[in-house]
Chains A and B, each alone.
Chain A
Amino acid sequence: MSRMTMIEAIRDAMDVMMGKNDDVVVFGEDVGYFGGVFRCTHGLQEKYGKNRCFDAPINESGIVGAAIGMAAYGLRPCVEVQFADYVYPAYDQIVSEAARLRYRSAGDFTAPITIRMPTGGGIFGGQTHSQSPEAVFTQVSGLKVVVPSNPADAKGLLISAIEDDDPVIYLEPKRLYNGPFDGHHDQPVTPWSKHELGEVPDGYYNVPLGKAKVTREGADVTIIAYGTMVYVAEAAVKETGIDAEIIDLRCLLPLDEETIIASVKKTGRCVVVHEATLTSGFGGELLSRVQETCFYHLEAPIQRVTGWDTPYPHAQEWAYFPGPERVSRALEQVMEA
């Protein structure tokens, strides 16, 4: 075991996989010599050479398109899109190409690629460094979508993503890179080095894709969360004293419905939280699944706490961010009903 930040854990996952498999290559904007703007690839070029870890031109479609070509050759590229906000130029390559290649060629060609990107706000990044675009990927057949919430999961999930034979979108909540941010922006964050979830197993291990984790057991209400919102939910539970069960989805696609259904059937109440916008957000999908499968167990309407349906603002960041206060209110409402 080693104490690691999420950045170090992500780097370690790539390091382990590059060491294990010569076909794993890492590239993206600033990821080579410099090691990435968030330092996730720091040292990899030095260790594995420029052939295996290198800088790419600023062209996200080019990065993903080239990765698809490399995968068709037989490599296993793990590419970085510098911010999830920059992924849109690559959307065609992801949706029309990577996601469908296995299907349209009946398995003749496949795209075992991992596309990493920092997601979410909380760093005063304004509208181009704060978005949570997971729902534009969960809507696509053929993709897997992963959002880790702590260093140990981040490493194990990234190893699974790189080993996966299908394309994986790997969203890194950048506000969690250094510690479990709970939405109290005016308070210091405990660094991962002082947090039990900063304990990361050494070497190779994996966390399977499609398996959620119950991070807190509870009897009264189920909170479905992922990424940063796991800690915001924890704070709200602590502050309200409501005995909530918190599910960290870890993987949105495929979705671990079993864990969700078992929990909601037990608690009879459900609050869905995410940082992304409300309308057509992934919360809508979660709500539908819960409604379809748990309707007769529900004691109250399901609540959603999400970012507002506006672009992510700069100065108004904390009015936008769905913090513990809003989650607490939803918990209280769902308990009153």
Chain B
Amino acid sequence: MSEKKRLHLHVPEPEFRPGDTPDFSNVTIPKAGSVRRPDVDVSPEEIRDLAYSIIRVLNRDGDAVGPWADLLSDDELIRGLRHMMTLRAFDARMMMAQRQGKTSFYMQHLGEEAVSTAFQCALEKGDMNFPTYRQAGLLLAQDYPMVKMMNQIYSNEEDPLKGRQLPIMYSEKEYGFFSISGNLGTQYIQAVGWAMASAIKNDTKIAAGWIGDGSTAESDFHAALVFASTYKAPVILNVVNNQWAISTFQGIAKGGSGTFAARGHGFGIPALRVDGNDYLAVYAVAKWAAERARLNLGPTMIEYVTYRAGGHSTSDDPAAYRPKEESDAWPLGDPIERLKLHLISKGIWSEERQLQTEAEIKDTVLAAQKEAESHGTLHSGGSPSTRDMFEDVYKEMPPHLRRQRQEAGI
């Protein structure tokens, strides 16, 4: 009898670790404008290749090219740039505020600003997002009051969530922004449920679920795809692939499959893969998926290929697990720089206006911060009422909680 082959475990590793020189020249980036734009009622089988490609609109010279271009007016493009710049400036101030001890925790969007800000512009009033912790652009793209977000981040006396939630776990029904859990993946199937409800009621509203590359490994991702596929729910299933789940590279969640988008095809869900750092491409793809949902054609999966240029959170230091240079070497560039270049090449923007706008946004953010801080920060000034700790556990406080509140002396 021949000797049996010994088995061994395969544990994937990222290509580059600290000390290595990152080189992404082997990553195939399709030319902007090269990927076709199918009709929204296309059958998923006919567009399998789009789950393996990358839809891009902005080329290296800043021109918008190909079938996914020309959907946004000049004003909308300028607004988009402002949204991204606002998100970056907001993040910068809040990162600093966390370092100054004004709050416990923060999560920034550095490098991923296009994804949420552009996506939101494809939605309509009444639609509902089920976001993760890195989609604050969904709010800022609706000109949501920054001071309200900061009040939440500071857990101060004006915190709309009354000090109960970790910073940035916003909730704003009026703006189509579901309460952020902090648990991973749970919101994905909830988005499908919301969309099913809209269909049950013969409504016209659609939902959008959000998940990161790492959390696609959660069982709820599978649940969401099964339900969305079975009931043809009017939902957009977004996967933000920013390459890193804290210290874990995307290969650990992805395993042997080609792309995250391709997961959709196992469920008969049309899947698109898009350059997440290309504001125009994100918008175009989101619009396509939203139209499908509104026409009752069912769910669409979108993978946004992007890069988390900063740490996972303020508690994370990426230098411990990836080369510092990796972010700069990443081939899809900076979403703000790319849109800026486009606006300049269109002749509707300039470096000067960019600087002006930057300064203006910085002032607005600072003013909001000042106002928020007048209501307190985590450890000083006004804070939420301790009494509030016992409220909203139930609609009506049951006797045992009333007793415990009494015992707490508040």
Contact = CB atoms under 8 A, between A and B. Distances in A.
Contact of A62 (B165, B226, B395, B398): B226
A165 B395 contact: yes
Interface residues of B, number: 45
Interface string B191-232: 111111110110000010000000000011011101100100
Contact of A57 (B128, B183, B230): B230
Interface in A61-80: 61-62, 65-70, 72-75
Interface in A58-117: 59, 61-62, 65-70, 72-75, 89, 92-93, 96-97, 101-110
Contacts of A52: 200
B164 A69 contact: no
Contact of B395 (A61, A66, A102, A105): A102
Contacts of A96: 181, 183, 186
Contacts of A93: 186, 189, 220
B186 A254 contact: no
Nearest to A93: B186
Contacts of A153: none
Contact of A104 (B171, B193, B200, B220): B171
Contact of B181 (A73, A89, A97): A97
B164 A106 contact: yes
Interface stretch (B71-79, B88-96, B172-180, B357-365): B172-180
A109 B393 contact: no
B190 A97 contact: yes
B226 to A, nearest CB: 5
A101 B165 CA distance: 11
Highest count of chain B CB atoms <10 Å: which of A25, A97, A104, A255: A104
Interface in A116-146: 141-142, 144
B266 interface: no
B189 A66 contact: yes
A14 to B, nearest CB: 16
A142 B398 contact: no
Contacts of B165: 104
A166 interface: yes
Contacts of A105: 161, 171, 173, 179
A301 interface: no
Given A65-B189, A69-B193, 20 more contacts: A25-B200, A59-B226, A61-B220, A62-B226, A65-B186, A65-B188, A65-B220, A65-B223, A66-B223, A66-B227, A72-B190, A72-B194, A73-B128, A92-B183, A93-B186, A93-B189, A103-B164, A104-B171, A106-B162, A108-B172
